[in-house]
Amino acid sequence: MTTEDWGQIPIGAPDDLHQLYKIEQPFIDLYKRIADCPACELARFRSKTVPGSGSKTSKLMLIGEGPGQKEDELGLPFVGRSGQFLEKMLLSIGLSRQDVYITNVVKCRPPDNRDPHSQEINACDNFLQEQIAIVNPTMIATLGRISMSIWFPNEKISQIHGEVKRIDGRLIMPMYHPAAALRNGSLRKTVQEDFLKIEKILMETK
């Protein structure tokens, strides 16, 4: 996606997709800079950049790893099967995806859905930090071990998922990636339980 075509809604897109493309300042400037970013190798592989979507005033921010094929096609995060599962989990605690802010550690799709490399994560980190500063969420849920490693580099997700730590004034909760729950049915209940913890924490911090 380039600055010129950034923000275009695919022809024939359903209404809910139009909702997801709705963006406000200051995200507009940021998303344009991401669309033009050549800072790491992933720029060569993308169809569209996938900056993020959702509310700029949400108390909850969800951070995944990187865009997949569907996300790369549409320029939106979590719109494939993982996204459907994520929406279901959000709905179970009374939230829609427009109520939260969703992004990934890297904004361009790694080829063959490989894990992003550390230099790619580092190159993209300024964008992520800018998003966190704009949204200023009370709570961040990391989805998967890649985003978890930003705050918990030496931990195992199996040991600390669902635990909340206060870091730099925010509550950070590591969670399994929705794709892991889709691959491994036994993790679905775990993810559901962790979402219930999010609901409880958000109620307590109202």
CB of 39 to ligand SF4, least distance (A): 4
One residue of 1, 27, 31, 42 binding ligand SF4 per CB under 6 A: 42
Report if residue 128 touches ligand SF4, rule: CB under 6 A: no
Length of the chain in terms of residues written = 206
Q: Which is nearer to ligand SF4, 84 or 126 (CB)?
A: 126
Q: Are strands 165-167 and 170-175 parallel, antiparallel or unpaired?
A: antiparallel
Instruction: Give the three-state DSSP class for 23.
Output: coil
CB of 46 to ligand SF4, least distance (A): 7
Give the relative orientation of helices 186-204 and 81-92 as an angle to the nearest 10 degrees: 50
CB of 133 to ligand SF4, least distance (A): 17
What end-to-end distance do the CA atoms of the chain give, in Å? 38
Mark the segment that binds ligand SF4 (CB under 6 A) among 22-30, 72-80, 103-111, 175-183: 103-111
Is the CB of residue 117 less than 8 Å from the CB of residue 45? no
Helix or strand holding residue 46 (H, E): none
One residue of 1, 20, 34, 175 binding ligand SF4 per CB under 6 A: 34
d(CA 63, CA 136): 14
Is the CB of residue 197 less than 8 Å from the CB of residue 173? yes
Q: Which is nearer to ligand SF4, 45 or 94 (CB)?
A: 45
Total binding residues toward ligand SF4, as defined by CB under 6 A:
13
| The two three-digit tokens of residue 27, written as one number | 């995200």
d(CA 154, CA 134): 28
Instruction: Give the three-state DSSP class for 159.
Output: helix
One residue of 1, 20, 37, 146 binding ligand SF4 per CB under 6 A: 37
One residue of 74, 76, 90, 108 binding ligand SF4 per CB under 6 A: 108
Name residue 54's beta-bridge partners. 101
One residue of 76, 123, 172, 180 binding ligand SF4 per CB under 6 A: 123
Q: Which is nearer to ligand SF4, 67 or 80 (CB)?
A: 67
Report if residue 39 touches ligand SF4, rule: CB under 6 A: yes
List residues near ligand SF4 by CB under 6 A.
Answer: 34, 37, 39-40, 42-43, 49, 106-108, 120, 123-124
